[in-house]
Structure 1
Amino acid sequence: MANNSDASGMENLAVFLTVFNEKSFRTAAIQLGLSPSTVSEKVSALERSLGARLFTRTTRSVRATEAGQALAERIAPLLTEVRAALNDVTTLQQDLRGTLKLNVTGAVMVDILPPLLDRFLSQHAQIRVELMVDDRLVDATLAGCDAGIRYGEHLAKDAIAVPIGPRIQRLALAASPAYLASRDRITHPTDLPEHNCIRLKFSSGALVPWDFSRNGQMLRVDPPGRLIIGVDGASAAIDFARNGNGIIATFENWLQPHFDAGDLLPVLPEWWSSFEGPWLYFSSRFMTAPLRAFVDFLREQEA
């Protein structure tokens, strides 16, 4: 019969959750600074203690069983609260200490989050920040983070959300003056499939959609990409557009410096669609001291 031995203690649960998030014993071992055999032993000990198999292992993959999935969903917020309590113990006489761990989409790493963190860290010299940059839209709590940064349509259910950065952003199209001079004039989004287009792709395999709107009319165009680049390489994709390789669609705020410099020109600006800016979200009722300080900081920026 299963029993609550030391094998089901905090350390083994934390190791299990890391394997669950990474879907790999080897990757989890690297992240934890342990050997793969140690990670495997700790998960096996936990399975023996619980009397249940938590992962289905093959030579090529690690997949959580139904029991493993249920355990991860239950313990992730509990481990977050324990880490929060330990971090809060380090808070002495208003001298905030500890680590703020955020799971963020790469879209905020260009010009939204870095200046905010610069100011936040200058105010709290004893706080450390760890960023997990991931476009897979994983659950921040399950990933072992204090909070996540997402765009509105990707917020977790029942999440507490605080706005961060511009409230409205736009999907803008751009091409180099040389490219536009060499091709027929673009007058409508339906002209785009006839052009060289530079498409961005999520790690899931889905292409970033090209959505347009004008006077209440909504339109989605899916031109074949002459160049297809992962979203983590967005800066390189913009450089390809600057060098005359075609039309790119991405955040207007990323393209604005190039519009100002003249090395890119707006394409179909009257059709650019708007969307809600990013949010910091967290689902745990127990906030770490660093997270609480960051939320307060963001609300001061909005005031």
Structure 2
Amino acid sequence: MRRLRSADLSVFLAIAEHRSFRKAAVDLGVTASALSHALRAIEERLDVRLVNRTTRGVGLTEAGERLLDRVRPAFLDIDAALEELDAFRGQPLGKLRINAPRAAAKLVLLPIVARFLKAHPAVEVEIVIDDALVDMVSGGFDAGVRFGEMIAADMIAVPIGPRHRFLVVGSPDHFERHGKPDTPYDLKDHHCIRYRFAGGAFYRWEFDRGGLELGIDVQGPLTLGDQDVMLQAAMDGAGLAYVFESQATEAISAGKLISVLEDWCPYYPGFFLYYPSRRQLPGPLRAFLDFVKSKR
């Protein structure tokens, strides 16, 4: 058996972490076909099958899983050693991949990233918009943005951006026809625009007043999976929407929407930037964390 080169291991590692030839190919800057041929050559050289290819996707064999467990820590140590050179370079250099839901990206992440890139022109940032919870390590992400209660306990979380709250909003025409709800219980008499998570579950509208916490499973003929579209649907008179206050402020000021039940809509801590615990943080991530903390 001929020994593998580090480049060969990089090919295997990219495929193993992405579980996709297409995504791994993009990461390495080659075609999926070339990557498939490279892996086949590696397996022939080792005389061991590492990857199972099926119509449903890519999976690792037992041998592949064992090789991944041994190779990944070594490559992380190499990456960490290279990242330490940033201290001698004077500024961070490299790529930073962040996963975030659409609302978080628009409301808090993009404004901060825009300022960060001006301060660190040698860093490239990729923001992947995904409302579903993802495995950060297997997805190849350096960090993510979510609400605090949605972050796994083994992650390190740092507040990013201001506090937020949701508001119940509707068009003036809707309230002329149906009146205004006095309590969250009155929402049963209104068409509400429901929000479905990427995982399939419906979001229950959350309220809190005087220590009384309510989770209302609203009903209505329209279901959407995007807050901006929900806001537009509410302005079009499709029903009541439960959206971020900062999203609705302009429409409320313009008289296109009216907010109700504001005393039932408390503020929440907001979003958190989270990342896996590591001995050495990649230089771009470390610089971004420092930038976020300096802006709080």
CA contact (8 A) 1:102 1:145 kept: yes
Task: Name the SS for the 1:225 alignment partner.
Answer: coil
State whether structure 2 residue 295 is matched by structure 1 residue 301: yes
The amino acid across from 1:148 in the alignment is: G
Q: CA deviation at 1:85?
A: 4.4
CA-based RMSD: 3.0
* Structure 1 counterpart of 2:109: 113
* Structure 2 counterpart of 1:12: 11
* TM-score computed with the length of structure 2 as normaliser: 0.84
Task: Name the SS for the 1:9 alignment partner.
Answer: helix
* Structure 1 counterpart of 2:195: 200
* Structure 2 counterpart of 1:128: 124
Paired with 2:197 and 2:42, the residues of 1 have a C-alpha distance of 35
Paired with 2:252 and 2:73, the residues of 1 have a C-alpha distance of 45
Q: Structure 2: which 5+ runs fail to align?
A: none
The percentage of counterpart residues that share the same residue type is 35
State whether structure 2 residue 141 is matched by structure 1 residue 145: yes
* Structure 2 counterpart of 1:188: 183
Task: Name the SS for the 1:10 alignment partner.
Answer: helix
Q: CA deviation at 1:244?
A: 1.3
The amino acid across from 1:292 in the alignment is: R
CA contact (8 A) 1:174 1:265 kept: yes
Change over 3 Å in CA distance of 1:69–1:195 after alignment to 2: farther
Task: Name the SS for the 2:221 alignment partner.
Answer: strand
* Structure 2 counterpart of 1:288: 282
Paired with 1:170 and 1:255, the residues of 2 have a C-alpha distance of 11
The amino acid across from 2:261 in the alignment is: L
Paired with 2:188 and 2:47, the residues of 1 have a C-alpha distance of 56
1:25 aligned to which of 12, 21, 25: 21
Change over 3 Å in CA distance of 1:75–1:217 after alignment to 2: farther
Q: CA deviation at 1:42?
A: 3.8
Can you list the C-alpha shifts for 1:235-285, whole angstroms capped at 9, x where unaligned? Answer: 122111112111001222222222222211112112224433111122222
Can you list the C-alpha shifts for 1:21-52, whole angstroms capped at 9, x where unaligned? Answer: xxx43454456543333333344455564835
Paired with 1:177 and 1:127, the residues of 2 have a C-alpha distance of 46
Can you list the C-alpha shifts for 1:126-171, whole angstroms capped at 9, x where unaligned? Answer: 22211122122112232212222221112233222221101x3212
Paired with 2:18 and 2:36, the residues of 1 have a C-alpha distance of 9
Paired with 2:168 and 2:58, the residues of 1 have a C-alpha distance of 41
Aligned positions of 1:224-243 closer than 5 A? 224-231=219-226, 234-243=227-236
Aligned positions of 1:35-74 closer than 5 A? 35-45=31-41, 49=46, 51=48, 53-55=50-52, 57-63=53-59
1:245 aligned to which of 230, 238, 242: 238
2:271 aligned to which of 262, 273, 278: 278
2:256 aligned to which of 243, 260, 263: 263
Q: Structure 1: which 5+ runs fail to align?
A: none
State which drifts further: 6-15 or 156-165. 6-15
Aligned positions of 1:85-100 closer than 5 A? 85-86=81-82, 89=85, 93-100=89-96
Task: Name the SS for the 2:13 alignment partner.
Answer: helix
Paired with 2:252 and 2:63, the residues of 1 have a C-alpha distance of 53
The amino acid across from 2:179 in the alignment is: D
Paired with 1:50 and 1:214, the residues of 2 have a C-alpha distance of 66
CA contact (8 A) 1:80 1:145 kept: no
CA contact (8 A) 1:139 1:156 kept: no
Task: Name the SS for the 2:164 alignment partner.
Answer: strand
